[in-house]
Amino acid sequence: MQLSDNSNNSFNFQQALEEEIKGFDPKNPPKQELIDSCVHCGFCLSTCPSYRVIGKEMDSPRGRIYLMDAINKGQAALDETTTQHFDSCLGCLACVSTCPAGVQYDGLIAATRPQVERNQPRNFADKIIRTIIFNLFPYPQRLKIFLPLLWVYQKLGIQKIIRATGLLKYLSPRLAAMDSILPEITLSSFKQTYPDVIPAQGKKRYRVGVVLGCVQRLFFSPVNEATVRVLTANGCEVVIPKTQGCCAALPAHQGQEKQAQALAKQMIDSFANTDVDYIIINAAGCGHTLKEYGHILADDPEYKEKGKQFSNQVKDIQEFLVEIGLTTPLNHLTDDNLTLVYQDACHLLHGQKISLQPRQILKQIPGITLKEPIDAALCCGSAGVYNMLQPEVADELGKQKVNNLMNTGAKLIASPNPGCSLQIKKHLNLQGKDIKVMHPMELLDYSIRGIKINL
């Protein structure tokens, strides 16, 4: 009888303890079999940017997998402390490339982020910055409203004064980080004049759709224009549906599940009935997400198959051009030979396993010498909106990346992702380095058109 009482007490105590520990909810928690595939060897640690900067096990892939395991088993809570270790992950996927056991950390962190967003309340400052980001950045039409204000902010020198006083950094390091990567607003940011269909030059080889991106279309419109010219010059008829919006990369990487699903569906619908052979994207982060629609819409009976079919049609521009082969003659970009360095964007290198193709394209341009930086596979710290949410870690990584790129002696940096370009430009400026950062498609377009680059 006594024994039985004790046993009941012990059970009740255990039950009470478990009730107190707030874990993952039942909706798609990180899968235990994926967690169990980690053999804890630690090979991934040295390639993990957050571990490199923060230096703590819990901010490494292995540490985060330990946390997921403990939360799944009710031994640790999903709370502010564990959340901060998940938040410190850049989602760069370098650990996926490195892991000898084939641990699918991408699936694990993708399952964890929506759990955090659903179950862990954000503090006031976090809420504000996240509300701004998620309600503004994925919507080009909303962003457009702010363009004239931002133009005035820059042209009247208000930005320079604010930066010089350090006021914004004092008020909010995250808002200051946002300001520090704000690209220059130019007249091209206001132009949105693509026809629905742009004919191929010469014999038509393919009919392709082009995704314009949200930030890319406003702040990097020359990259989109160059991409369209390169495609048409190489025999592609280009289709650009006006209804397309954001690819969903931004909310998907931050665990904003519903928003990501709504944007993915809108993208699928906008390309429905366009009868294109492929859907082309020139931004690394967007390309990775477009290829993930099958997963993002896995629980949607109507869109699950459509998502998979859409993703099967998606090609990164460089991947596509290597597959179809360039048919246009190429010219020198400068009077002398040009030494340049290509910066691997994580969502191309680790996310899509695309590293050779951009180099193959660039090497076809006459007079190009391509350099390789140390730590080419290490994230630059941009990682979507990571450099706004975690500016200190991002700044250290940005500094290291720029040092490594500059140490190659290159006279120009080629970057295939808008976020990486902004991050690298910021740290070039901070180091007082005046060197151009261009998308490989801009370089190819210049080469096709015989335009020389003014270094």
Binding region for ligand SF4 (CB under 6 A): 38-44, 48-50, 61-62, 64, 89-95, 98-99, 101, 103, 105
Shortest CB 108 distance to ligand SF4, Å:
9
CB of 61 to ligand SF4, least distance (A): 4
Q: Give the DSSP letter of residue 31.
A: P
Going by the DSSP 8-state scheme, the letter that residue 57 receives in this structure is G
Nearest distance from residue 386's CB to ligand SF4, in Å?
9
Judge contact between 376 and 344, C-beta under 8 A. Answer: yes
* Nearest distance in Å: CB 438, ligand SF4: 26
409 exposure class (CB count in 10 Å sphere: 0-12, 13-18, 19+): exposed
- Residue number with CB closer to ligand SF4 (177 or 362): 177
Cα angle for residues 104, 109, 110 (degrees, 5° grid):
95
In angstroms, the CA 390 to CA 409 distance is 30
For ligand SF4, the closer of residues 140 and 384 by Cβ is 384
State how far the Cα of 445 lies from the Cα of 439, in Å rounded to an integer. 10
| Least spacing, CB of residue 68 vs ligand SF4, in Å | 11
User: Which CB sits closer to ligand SF4, 90 or 212?
Assistant: 90
| Main-chain dihedrals φ then ψ at residue 413, nearest 5 degrees | -110, 130
Nearer to ligand SF4, 292 or 442 (CB): 292
Q: How far is the CB of 380 from ligand SF4 (least distance, A)?
A: 12
Tokens representing residue 98 in the block:
């490195």
State which amino acid sits at residue 411: K
Of 133 and 397, CB closest to ligand SF4: 397
Q: Using CA atoms, how far apart are residues 216 and 181, in angstroms rounded to an integer?
A: 14
Closer by beta carbon to ligand SF4, 223 or else 346: 346
CB of 352 to ligand SF4, least distance (A): 15
Q: Which is nearer to ligand SF4, 62 or 291 (CB)?
A: 62
d(CA 67, CA 90): 17
Residue type, 213: G
Task: Give the strands of the sheet with 206-210, arranged side by side.
Answer: 197-198, 236-239, 206-210, 278-281, 314-316
- To ligand SF4, the closest distance from the beta carbon of 59 in angstroms equals 8
Measured distance CA(454)–CA(452) in Å, rounded? 6
For residues 61 and 373, which CB has a smaller minimum distance to ligand SF4 in the complex?
Answer: 61
Which is closer to ligand SF4, CB of 234 or CB of 343?
343
Query: 26-49: buried (b, 16+ CB within 10 Å) or exposed (e) per residue?
Result: eeebbeeebbebbeeeeebbebbb
CA–CA distance, 167 with 124 (Å, rounded to integer): 20
Minimum gap (Å) between residue 421 Cβ and ligand SF4: 20
H-helix segments, 242-303: 249-253, 257-271, 284-290, 293-296
